[in-house]
Chains A and B, each alone.
Chain A
Amino acid sequence: MRFAWLLRCSHLGLYCIKRENMRLYRLIRYDIKNGICSRLYLYVPAAILCSVFTIGFYMSLQNRNLENEKLTIINILLYFFEGKEPFSPELGNAFVFPVVWLFIFLYSAFLTLNYPYSNLTGYGVQVITRTKSRKLWWLSKCFWVFLTTFLYFAVWYLVSLVLSLILHIDLSIQYSERICAELLDMKLQSVQAGSVWISLVILPVMTSVAVNLLQLCLGLFFDRIYCFLASAVILFASTYFQTPLLIGNFAMVKRSVMYQENGMDFTQGIIACAALIILSIGAGFWRIRKYDILKKT
């Protein structure tokens, strides 16, 4: 008797979970359609700029008489994610921010800025009413941020990959030390394949996801422009100060252990990004429960 009751409960539980998963799946599908597929034009400027930066970097080899050096795709990715070396404010040493690095991360923040809140103040109210769950709406938006950021970085990597194929740039995991030293002012200490993957692929994407999710969460508390401003301040301050508290530091090669002995640790970076992601999602869950949607609309 007791066994039958337990079985019925578990069936009911499974049914609820299944139904909730189905609703979440539908919400995600809706977000992919409206938040990604209908906004694909926003990825075009990123692709164009990636091409400009890549071709510019390739052409700079000829300007510096480095045509004979073997340029690889890793050199190009190092150029994208080099960031800024630790800055010491001394006389005559002007602070010049890393334009390419900042552009990459700011554009990612810009991509994820508008859709969730325009959705919440538009059709989102209807969606929440029909799904009967604010929690699911928030979860789907977090998932959308993940997807958008992954897609954005995929565009950067794919465009550089395609251009590498067109320009006959080597696709190996090796890189030219001379190009790094002369063009990027970078002499890497110990480079293993794993470190390259973490510093050029995993950490930039994770950092961007963390900043974008923080921005998404802040959007429930403040106006969107202030959220974008907060993201810009975090990223910009990261280029000036070397501290683990500013998460942008983990996405810069010139701040990592690959470049300097006391650099930012990869494990610490992954943990910090994961913590910020979890914190942002959790704070959003807490806030969305009592968020006044009707007032906003």
Chain B
Amino acid sequence: MAAKCIKNEMRKALFSKASLITYLLSFSLVIYHTVTKAEIYNEFYTAYQTGEVQGNPMITAVSLYCNWLGADVTSFATSAFFFLFPIIAVMPYGWSMAGEIKSGYTKNVISRIPRKVYFFSKYFAAFVSGALAVMIPLLLSFLLMSLVLPALHMENIYPYGVIGERSMWAELYYSNPFPLQYAVCTAGRDFFGADRLYQYGFRFFYTEPGVRCPDALFPDASSGLYRYECTSGMGALAGQIFTGASSSK
């Protein structure tokens, strides 16, 4: 019974119109990011071949490991991805429970199957759909970028702006970058999956469809937390908010 319920919820979560829109949005961001990065790489490569690059060319700066969607910190696509995903990730399934409670569907279901099974399958589907909405574009970006950019090892003497010397996972990043990329995908998946669960918890108290929980107001903060957690630690963001320091510092 539980498997059937989970299957049903998963179908609702993954094959809806809203999830299709979510994937379309994220894939278009990934493609835009890949195309812009490929253009930059081609320009650099042509200049490098013709000897136009003066001084230290910092070849590792065009590496796959600091230019894919999960590691790039300068492009619009990456910033938009991490800023908007707390909103986009909840679109497919965000207010499914609110809608079902309001329409009376929940009463019909929990009179037929145990309440625990129904809510567990809801939570499970919410976690999986939120996680996939983030993990698939990240993986797709890594695969697409690996078709274009060389997978050069990063060197900790250069200021890439991605992961500093004292950042979390810095040792791993500079010694063996591939597992770190997997770890970033996993962290992204868990973070946005958990974000979706938080949305669901909120729905028990506030069932107004069309209104997202207060997390919608802090997409910047939540995605910022995720990014800083993965790169420079939470202190930077907290410092930015509470010390009144400029965002550029």
Contacts from A to B (Cβ < 8 Å): 45, 52-53, 56-60, 63, 79, 82, 84-85, 89-100, 102-103, 106-107, 110, 113-114, 117-118, 183-186, 223-226, 228-229, 232-233, 236-237, 240-241
Contact = CB atoms under 8 A, between A and B. Distances in A.
Given A102-B220, A103-B217, A228-B87, A96 B240 contact: yes
Interface class of chain A by DSSP: helix
B211 A113 contact: yes
B75 A186 contact: no
B73 A94 contact: yes
B166 to A, nearest CB: 15
A228 B243 contact: no
A11 to B, nearest CB: 46
10 shortest interchain CB distances as A-B pairs: A57-B244, A185-B246, A94-B73, A92-B159, A60-B244, A89-B74, A92-B161, A60-B243, A56-B242, A94-B161
Contacts of B244: 53, 56-60, 79, 183-184
Given A224-B210, A232-B84, 15 more contacts: A52-B242, A56-B244, A57-B244, A59-B244, A63-B243, A79-B244, A84-B247, A91-B160, A92-B158, A97-B220, A99-B237, A106-B220, A184-B246, A229-B88, A237-B80
Interface of B: 21, 58, 61, 73-76, 78-80, 83-84, 87-88, 91, 94, 158-162, 208, 210-212, 214, 216-221, 224, 237, 240-249
A241 B76 contact: yes
10 contacts: A45-B214, A56-B243, A82-B247, A93-B74, A94-B74, A99-B220, A113-B210, A118-B208, A224-B211, A240-B76
Contacts of A92: 158-161
B233 to A, nearest CB: 14
A228 B211 CA distance: 10
Given A99-B237, A100-B241, A185 B161 contact: no
A22 B157 CA distance: 72
A95 B246 contact: no
B248 A185 contact: yes
A183 B210 contact: no
Nearest to A76: B244
B163 to A, nearest CB: 11
A59 B242 CA distance: 8
Contacts of A94: 73-74, 161-162
Contacts of B160: 91-92
Contacts of B214: 45
A63 B247 CA distance: 17
B74 A183 contact: no
Contacts, number: 129
Contact of A106 (B79, B217, B246): B217
Contacts of B241: 53, 56, 99-100
Contacts of A85: 248
A169 B249 CA distance: 25
Contacts of B83: 97, 232, 236
A118 B240 contact: no
B236 to A, nearest CB: 8
A98 B217 CA distance: 14
A99 to B, nearest CB: 5
Contacts of B87: 225, 228-229, 232
B79 A114 contact: no
Contacts of B74: 89-91, 93-95
Q: Which of B84, B160, B210, B237 has the most CB of A within 10 A?
A: B210
A96 B80 CA distance: 11
B245 A60 contact: yes
Contacts of B240: 96, 99
Given A107-B217, A114-B208, A240-B79, A98 B247 contact: yes
Given A89-B74, A91-B74, A229 B79 contact: no
Nearest to A85: B248
Contacts of B245: 60, 183
Contacts of A96: 240, 247-248
Contacts of A226: 21
Nearest to B21: A226
Contacts of B158: 91-92
A117 B210 contact: yes
